[in-house]
Chains A and B, each alone.
Chain A
Amino acid sequence: MLIKRISLIKPMILIFILIPVVTQAGQNQSMQELLIGLIPEQNIFRQMDRYRPLAAYLSEKTGLKVRLTILSKYGDIVERFKSRHLDGAFFGALTGTMAIIKLGVEPIARPVNQNGTSSVRSYIFVRADSKIDSVKDMNGKRAVFVDRATVTGYLFAAAFLRENGVNDIEKYFTEYFFTGSHDSAIYSVLDNRADIGSAQNTFFNVLVSKDPTIKRELRIIARSEEFPETTLCMRKNISPGIKNSLTNTLLNMDRDPAGRDILKKFGASKFIRAEIKDFNSVFNLAKRARVDIRTYEGDR
C-alpha cells in the first residue's frame, strides 16, 4: 500500500513568499486587532483573493483591524487556533464541529451562496470515460481526498465506503492521497492522476462555471446530504461587543451597496446567523463513519 503524501513544503514556501501571510485591512494602527484564521479549503491564492475584500469591509464597518491568516493545513487546526491566539476562524463543517467540541468556539454567521443555499455537499466523482460505476469497481484504483479533517473532502467518502462494505481503504485502493484543497482534488481526477475523487460541491461548481468542459469530463457517482457552509466561529471568551459588532455587520452586508459588491466577489448573496445545531448533520455523519469527534485529530 502506497500512500503518496503531497509535500506541503512547496505550498507553504509560496504562502510566505508570494502573498502576505497577514492581510492588513485597516490603516489605523490604534485599532483593536482581530485575527481570523482561514482553513486552506481551496487554492490559497484564490482564497486570499476571495477573503481580502471581506476583511477590509469588516475593518471599515466595525472599526476593528481585521487580519487574516491562512492556516497551513486542516488537520491540526484546533491546536493552531490556540497556539496562534486566533480570535475566530472560518471553519469548514468538520473543523467547525471539532472546534465547537474541543475549544468551545461559537458559530456566529455563515454565507448564503448565490444559488440561495447555505449548505454544502460532498461529491464522489470519476472521469466521465472511467469504467467505475460503483464501490465494487473502485477496488484496486487510486483515490484522492482533500484532507482527513473535511466532511466533504473525506469524511462523507469514508462513511459511504464503509456503508458499502469497505472497512479498510488502505487495502481497498492501490494508492490514496490527500491534496490539501478541493480544487486540487478535482484537477487530480481530471488529469488522471487519480481515478476517484471526493470534494465539495461548491468548489466543483465554481470550476465548472469557469470551464464548462470540466463538467463533461467528470461524472458524479455519489452525493452527500447537506452540511453547513464555511462558518465564522469566534473564541468563547471574546467580548460580546466585538462579537455583536461583527455579527451585525455580516448580517447586514446585503443591505449595503458596498457590502453587496463585496458579497458578490466573495461568491455569496448574504450572511445568515449560524448556530451550534447547524452542525448536527456532521455529528450524524461521524457516527456513520465511526469517528469520535472528541478524539478525532484529523491529522494525516
Chain B
Amino acid sequence: MIYWKLHNNYPQTAEGKIENRDTKLRIQDKGIRYFLFLFFAFSIFTLFFPPPAYSIEKKTIGVIMTGDIPYYAKMHKAFSARLSREGYGDMEILLQKPYPDQISWSNAARKLIAVDVSIIVTYGAAAALAAIRETSNIPIVYAGVHNPAAVGIAGKNTTGAVSKAPTSSLLRYLKSVTNISILGVLYSEIEKDSVKQVDEIEDISRDMGFKILKINIRRPEDIRKIKGSGKPDALFLTCSASVNMAVDAILDIARTEKLPTASMLKGENNSGIIITLSANPEEQGEMAADKVIKILKGTHPVTISPTGGKNIELIFNLKENMSLGFKLPMDLVTEATKIIQ
C-alpha cells in the first residue's frame, strides 16, 4: 500500500503517461516487493507464534551424577521436573553415573563431550572438576557443591548451585548428643570437597575441644577402618559420594558400636543418620535447571552468578537416637525443620 502511494506520486508527462525511467523501476521492484511481502508476513507470524528457543535445533544436556546416592537422585528428579515445567521437557538428557574415581569421572565427561552435548550438568564437586578438566567450550552447570571456590571450581563457562551448610552448626548439634573426645570423620581423599570439609572440621575441633580421626573411604570395604582405627565417639559423614554410597554399611557399624552420626547430605526419609544439616536437594536441582534454561536462552554462563541454597534443612532422627540410647536436649529438638520419630 505504501508502495502504490509512492508510485502514484511519481511525476507524470503532460499526456498523463509515466516516464520511462519509472517504468523500469517498477519492473525491477517486483522482485523486491515479493521479498518484502514474504519478510513482513514471516515477521508478523513469528511475532504471534514465537518458536521455543531450542526448537530450531534440538539440544542435548549431559548430566554426571556420581554413584547413585539418594541426595543426587532427588536433585536430578527436581532438575528434570523443573525443565519439563518450564517447557523444556522434550530435551534429551544423557545421564552418566560414574563410580567415584578419577577415571570414571573423566570417562563420563568425555562421553558427553563426544556426543556434543550443549551443556554439562554435574552433581557434586568431583564430577564438576572432571568436566572442567575435559572441556573448556561446553558450559558446565554444577549443583550440590559445598564450597566451589575452595576446590577450584571456576571458569568462564561455569556456574551453578552451592550447597554449603555450616559444618560448625552440625558439629554443635552432634556434641549435644554425646561428649566427643574423638570424632571419626569419613571422607574420600580423591574428592576435594570432602577433603576441604575435613580441614574445616579440624580447624573447628580445636575450638570445640575434640580430636578428629580421619577415615578415608574410597571403596565399600574401607568402612572396616571405622572399627580398626581407634575409638571414635561419633561419626561425621562428609559430602563425599564414596562415603554416602556406603551409608547403610556405615550405619550398621554405628548401631553396633553405639555411635551417633551426623551428615551434610540429606538421605532417604529415614536413613538412620541422627542429625542431618543439608541444603535441600530439590532446591539445588531446580536452581541448576534455572541456570540451564538461561544458558539455552542465550545467556553466557559467565554472567550467571553461582547461587547458594536458601533452604537448609535440619533433621533430627529421634527414633534412631533413642534406639542407640542417646538423648537430644529438647531445647535443640525444637530447632529442627524435620523430626523423625
Contacts and interface: CB of A to CB of B under 8 A. Distances in A.
B334 A10 contact: yes
Interface in A198-255: 211-213, 216-217
B277 interface: yes
A193 B337 CA distance: 10
Contacts of B335: 184, 187-188, 191
A141 to B, nearest CB: 9
Contact of A43 (B172, B204, B334): B334
Contacts of A190: 166, 168-169, 172
Nearest to B164: A192
A193 B331 contact: no
B207 A212 contact: yes
B312 interface: yes
A192 B165 contact: yes
B314 interface: yes
B334 A191 contact: no
B334 A216 contact: no
Contacts of B331: 43, 45-46, 183
Interface string B162-185: 001110110010000000000000
Nearest to B209: A213
Looking at chain B's contact residues, the main secondary structure is: mixed
Nearest to B334: A11
A56 B298 CA distance: 71
A174 interface: yes
Given A174-B310, A184-B335, A45 B169 contact: no
A192 to B, nearest CB: 5
Contacts of B310: 142, 174-175
A169 to B, nearest CB: 16
B253 interface: no
Contacts of B329: 45
Interface string B325-337: 0000111001101
A148 interface: no
B172 A211 contact: yes
23 contacts: A10-B339, A11-B334, A14-B330, A18-B330, A45-B330, A45-B334, A46-B331, A142-B310, A175-B310, A183-B331, A184-B334, A190-B168, A190-B169, A190-B172, A191-B314, A192-B166, A192-B169, A193-B337, A211-B172, A213-B172, A213-B208, A216-B207, A217-B168
- Smallest CB-CB A-B distances: 4 pairs: A43-B331, A191-B169, A45-B331, A213-B207
